[in-house]
Amino acid sequence: MSGQCTLPLNGQGAPNPYEDVETIKDIASVVSLNGSDITVNYVVPSGVPKPVSVSMTQVNQFHENIVLCNQTIVSSAGSITCTANATIGDSQVLVNVDSGDYPLSRSNVYYAEDLGDFFLLNNYAIAAFFIILLVTMMVSSPKIMIVASIISVVLLGFTFLIKGSSIGTVVGAISWLIISGIIILIKLNKKDET
């Protein structure tokens, strides 16, 4: 296809259909995190009361999205606080601040997981489990005692991983115990053969 294409660009049109940028940005907002409380503080520098809507949604890979709050305040300054939920795994809280139909700010707040109240992560369950392993270590066979010790050390390492320790630290700390347990088992087998 050949030919000439023209596009007339004239500066005429409807009156300004959009508000001025300064009018849209006349609201300053700050998002802060204090424990599990997420606070949005805002102020209108001109002092004119405006509607400010704050919506917070918690996004997690294990749960569906949870709407924490969706509030609107008409004021020249204010504060809105919402509380994030304790989740398995880390989550993000998406914070949207709008004035009328205009988006003012979009923020992501990182919220670390809280494993303190979930099953098998309190000290009583861990202590009961290791007492059961301790009973198996009291048998007369030294081989079973060493195998139970190795299993308990590995499970203790997994507990540290669940609590948030790095894998390098845990593997480095327990690998020499596992290797020494295997060496002791080999020595005990050689002792039984003679």
Interior/surface letters 90-108, b for 16+ CB within 10 angstroms, e for the rest: ebebebbbbbeeeebbebe
Residues ≥6 apart with Cβ < 8 Å to 148 = 133, 136, 137
How far apart CA 74 and CA 51 sit, in angstroms, is 4
Classified as helix, coil or strand, 69 is strand
How confident is the model at residue 163, as a pLDDT?
64
Q: Residue 180: enclosing H or E segment and its boundaries? A: helix 167-193
Instruction: Decide which of 137 and 61 is more confident.
Output: 61
Nearest partner of 28 among 101, 94, 99, judged by Cα: 99
Q: What is the mean pLDDT of residues 10-27?
A: 49
Inter-residue long-range contacts of 128-137, CB under 8 Å, 24+ positions, other chains counted: 129/155, 130/156
What average pLDDT does the chain have? Answer: 75
* Span 61-95, pLDDT tens digits: 777 788 888 999 898 888 989 888 876 677 888 88
Global pTM value: 0.49
102-133: pLDDT as tens digits: 787 888 888 776 655 555 555 556 666 776 77
